[in-house]
Structure 1
C-alpha cells in the first residue's frame, strides 16, 4: 500500500446514524449529504443510510439531490436556489424543494404548472441568519402565493424551515419564536405542513427544545464535530487518513502527502499519530510534509493524520482548528490523488 489513503468505515457510519437517531428522537433525521457527503462519497453512503432506516436525505443543491434520488426512493430535499432548468428536472424526479424568495417561488410554481405536475415545497422563514429566506414582513405574501398554487394543484406546502444563526442561546430562542409565528400563520391560512425543521447539526444535538419534527444533520453523522466543540458522545469519525514515510534525511522525516493532495499549506504544529507516538507537523510542501522524527522510523511506515491510529486518535476538526477552519474543509478539500477505500 503506497501513497495517501482515506479509509472510510461503513460500520462506523451505521453506528453514528443509530446514535444520532436515538439522540434526536422523536424528531426525525434528515441526513445532509452536501459536497459529495462531506468528501466521503454519496454513492456508498446512501445505501448504508437507507439500510439504517434513514427516510429523508438532503442534497443541498439539485444535482446532488438527483444523485441521491438515483440511489434511493426515500424523500430527497434540495434547498439551494437553482436555475429553472434544474427545477424542472427536480420536479420530474420528485425532489422536495426549499424555497426562500418570491422569485424562486414563482419559478418553482411556473415549472410545476408547465409540467402539469405537483411539487412539494418547504417555505423558508428568515429567523435572523439572513441566509436566504422570506423576511417576516414578506411571509404573509409568500404564504398567500404558495397556498393559491396549492389550491390550483401545482404545489403542496409540505414544510416550513429555517437556519439558526447559533450566535447565542438567546438569539436562537428569539429565532424559534419567529419560526413558530410563521408556522401559525401558515396554518391559519389553511396550510398543513408535514414537517417543520429549524435545527442543523449543532443545535439539533445540543438544544432539543428547538427541534422540529425533522432535524437536518450531516457532518455529525460522519463523526465530524464542530470547530471548538466538545467530543460528540457516541460518535466517531468514520474516516482515517494515512500516508507513508517516503524519506529520512539527517533526522528529517518526510511523509508522502502535501498541499497537492489537499492539505492546507499553512498547517503546522498539529499532532499526528506515528508508530513512535504522537508527533507534530513541521511543514507542508507540495507532495510531502515534514514531521518530527521518532525512534525506529523507517521508510514505508505509515502515519495517521486523523482517525484511529497506532498511537491514539486525532480528528479532522483538530487539524482544522490549527488553521482556523472546520473539519469538513480538511476532508472535502482532499484531491483525487488521495485514494479512497470504503471498508466494513
Structure 2
C-alpha cells in the first residue's frame, strides 16, 4: 500500500494558461528546480510542451535537470543558472542549453569551454541587486561586461539575457533592486549587447508587481498551484497535487496509515487534520514509515486518507499544511521521497 502523490495534468495546464495570461506580454520561464518542485521533471516538461499554449522557455536550475527537460522539449529554450563543472558546461552547450553567469571566474570558464569545443555559449549575465545569493556586484559589473563583450566579439559567447533575484522582503527593497537591475541592463546595452531575455521576478513578484516584470518571468511554484506562505489565493490557479495513503492497521482509538517521516512527511505535523471516509481526523503521531490518525466509525484496512488535496476534506493544499509549521508549500512536496509514487491523473 504505497503512498501516492496524485498529480493532475489538466490542472497543471490550466495553471500554465492562467499564469501566461496574467504576465503577458512577458514570456513564462517555467522553473523546474527540485525535480519540478517534487512533481517530476519528465511529465511536467511533456505536459507543458503539449499545452494549448505551449511553454517555450524552461528554467532547469542545474545542467542535469536541464538535460532531462531537453529530452522532453527538443525545440524549447532551456536555461540552467547554477554554476557547473567544465564537463557540465560542455554538455550544456552541446544540448543548446543557455547558462547563467554570475561571476567573473565562471564567465572565464564558460568562454574557455566554448573555445575548446568550438561552440558559442548563450549566456544570461546576473547582476547582484541586493539579495547576495550570487551575482556580479554592481562595482564589478562594467569590467565583467567588458570581458563578456570581448568574448562575444570573438564568437565564444552571445549575451542573450540579463537577470537577477529579488529578496521580496519589502516593496521598497524590491523597488531599489529593480532600479539597480535597469541600470545594469543599460550598461550592457551601452557596451553593444542586445539581450532579449530580461528577468528579475519569480512567482509572487511576477503576479503581484507587474511593474517589475521584464521580458521574461521565472515562475515555478504558482504553476504547480503552490501559493506563497501566508499569501492570498491566486485567481485562476489551483493546487495540482493530492497526497494520499492507505490504512494499514486499525486499532481501538487510532488507525495507522502507510506514510511516515521516512517518506518525507514532517514529524512536527502532529495535530493537523486529514481527510478520511469518516470526515476530518487529527494526526496523533508520525513515525518512521507510518502515521497514527484518530479512528472513525467503520474504518477498514485499505481505506484512503488524504493528507492534502484540492477539493478534499483535510488541508486543501500543501501550503495550508506548511503554514502550520512555519514553512512553505514547496518544502512539503519536495521533501517527499521516491517511495511516494507520483501518479499522473487527468
TM-score band by shorter chain is over 0.9
2:56 alignment counterpart: 55
Task: Give 1:86-105 correspondences, 5 Å limit.
Answer: 86-105=88-107
Contact 1:98 1:121 in 2 (8 A): yes
In 2, Cα distance between the equivalents of 1:159 and 1:81? Answer: 16
Contact 1:274 1:309 in 2 (8 A): no
Contact 1:32 1:59 in 2 (8 A): yes
In 2, Cα distance between the equivalents of 1:126 and 1:310? Answer: 43
1:103 deviates by 0.5
**Secondary structure of 1:266's partner?**
helix
1:44 deviates by 1.1
1:104 deviates by 0.2
1:308 deviates by 3.1
2:140 alignment counterpart: 138
1:309 deviates by 5.3
Segment drifting more, 25-34 vs 3-12: 3-12
In 2, Cα distance between the equivalents of 1:101 and 1:321? Answer: 36
Contact 2:252 2:295 in 1 (8 A): no
Q: TM-score, normalised by structure 1?
A: 0.97
In 2, Cα distance between the equivalents of 1:121 and 1:288? Answer: 47
In 1, Cα distance between the equivalents of 2:60 and 2:312? Answer: 35
1:282 deviates by 1.7
1:246 deviates by 2.0
Contact 2:31 2:58 in 1 (8 A): yes
2:253 alignment counterpart: 251
**Secondary structure of 1:282's partner?**
strand
In 2, Cα distance between the equivalents of 1:219 and 1:79? Answer: 17
In 2, Cα distance between the equivalents of 1:40 and 1:310? Answer: 19
In 2, Cα distance between the equivalents of 1:156 and 1:98? Answer: 12
Whether 1:124 aligns to 2:126 is: yes
1:164 deviates by 0.2
1:318 alignment counterpart: 320
Contact 2:273 2:315 in 1 (8 A): no
In 1, Cα distance between the equivalents of 2:278 and 2:116? Answer: 65
In 2, Cα distance between the equivalents of 1:312 and 1:306? Answer: 6
2:262 alignment counterpart: 260
C-alpha offsets along residues 295-323 of structure 1, whole Å, 9 cap, x if unaligned?
33232211111113553652111222222
C-alpha offsets along residues 242-265 of structure 1, whole Å, 9 cap, x if unaligned?
111222222122222111211112
Contact 1:255 1:289 in 2 (8 A): yes
2:277 alignment counterpart: 275
Aligned pair in 2 of structure 1 residues 290, 309: CA closer, same or farther (>3 Å)?
Answer: farther
In 2, Cα distance between the equivalents of 1:166 and 1:78? Answer: 22
1:119 deviates by 1.0
**Secondary structure of 1:296's partner?**
coil
In 1, Cα distance between the equivalents of 2:339 and 2:65? Answer: 22
Contact 2:274 2:314 in 1 (8 A): no
Instruction: Give ranges in structure 1 of 5+ residues lacking alignment.
Output: none
In 1, Cα distance between the equivalents of 2:37 and 2:201? Answer: 19
1:83 deviates by 0.8
Segment drifting more, 183-192 vs 270-279: 270-279
Q: TM-score, normalised by structure 2?
A: 0.96
Whether 1:38 aligns to 2:59 is: no
Segment drifting more, 252-261 vs 175-184: 252-261
C-alpha offsets along residues 225-247 of structure 1, whole Å, 9 cap, x if unaligned?
11221221111111111111222
**Secondary structure of 2:135's partner?**
coil
Whether 1:237 aligns to 2:236 is: no
Contact 2:307 2:314 in 1 (8 A): no
Segment drifting more, 212-221 vs 66-75: 66-75
CA RMSD of aligned residues (A): 1.3
In 2, Cα distance between the equivalents of 1:69 and 1:300? Answer: 40
Contact 1:260 1:286 in 2 (8 A): yes
C-alpha offsets along residues 42-79 of structure 1, whole Å, 9 cap, x if unaligned?
11111111122111001000111111112112000000
1:192 alignment counterpart: 194
**Secondary structure of 1:70's partner?**
helix
